[in-house]
Amino acid sequence: MKYRFLPQSNLKVSSLIYGCMNIGGPWSPNPPDRATVDNALACVRTAVEGGINVFDHADIYGGGRSEEVFSAVWSELGLKRSDVIIQSKCGIRRPGEPNAASPHRFDFSFDHIVSSVDGILRRLKTDRLDILLLHRPDPLADPDEVARAFDHLRSNRMVHYFGVSNHNAAQIALLQRAVGVPLVANQLEFNLLHSDLIDEGVTVNDARQRATYRADGTLDYCRLNGISVQAYSPVAKGRLALPKRDDDERIRSTRQAVEHLAHHMGVSGEAVLLAWILRHPAKILPVIGTTRPDRITASLDALKIEMTREEWYSLYLAGRGRDLP
């Protein structure tokens, strides 16, 4: 495993993050069964043995079950709190909460952020989060109110560092102006089939294509301001692994390009997809979310790959599905 210090922090993080969204099993108010816990145990053990030290959560994953399962697994593995970097997210409220008429919404109010972290810490059975991310932009967010929540959580040592998820450059800048601490991370969907973060830079001054992409300079903004980008769905939710009837030509050709390179390198397709992300100079951290230990092991091979510029562009063009300007 390779490690680096997260910019604007003292956290030494692994080059891969393990995403815990699905380790709690199906989203349900019922407690997880033993088989679910055992599978989570195997996954987390494999990740830890592979050198992964960052574990990503959110309060809505599994309706809270994923955090509860992780706390049980953490205890059974005998991990020390200092062995792991725990990150969670808040801000999404599901329909029917707190009453039946409540809609699906985003909530960055002081009360919701603070109460969410209380619940996260209780389920994880820890006294602090290393990183808290705001999950999806709330149109009604008041940056000063968010700043007050961050101050409360930090002064009470409940959260050490803060960041966002699915935010663009302007949204981050507006929030950063109000909060008194650096925003250290932005978690975004990024993979060969969802590459808007870099597509918009490639199509600058090309009127034929530029309007297609709307990442709003987010990747460059993060790089300029020391905000670490985390890539969720780095293997495109498995769409490049198993053929499906409704696959279009772009997906089929991208899968073939990945399979060809994987065969040439003697690694899995997952390793190639992750290596493509790791090759970017922004030092993006992929969040792998599989619940199969063997796929975690296969993913670790990404760190052994020295991808050439030509190989990177071959994959990029396949996933992009169109020529460069």
- pLDDT tens, position by position, 73-121: 988 898 899 999 999 999 999 898 888 888 999 999 999 999 999 999 9
What is the model's pLDDT at position 209? 62
Residue 4 has pLDDT above 70, yes or no: yes
Beta strands per DSSP E along 48-182: 54-56, 85-90, 92-93, 105-106, 129-134, 159-165
% of residues, the chain, pLDDT over 90 = 80
Residue in 163, 133, 319, 312 with CA at minimum distance from that of residue 235: 319
Q: What does the pLDDT look like over 271-299, one tens digit per residue?
A: 999 999 999 999 999 999 999 999 999 99
Q: Is 61 a catalytic residue?
A: yes
Q: What does the pLDDT look like over 32-75, one tens digit per residue?
A: 889 999 999 999 999 999 999 999 999 999 989 999 999 999 88
Neighbours of 178 (CB within 10 A): 15
Taken in order of first residue, the domains within the chain and their CATH numbers are 3-189 (3.20.20.100)
| CB contact set of 128 (below 8 Å; sequence gap of 6+) | 121, 157, 158, 159, 160
Of residues 131 and 325, the one with the higher pLDDT is 131
Chain centroid to CA 295: how far?
17
**3-state DSSP assignment of residue 167:** coil
Catalytic residue among 61, 161, 221, 232: 61
What is the model's pLDDT at position 90? 98
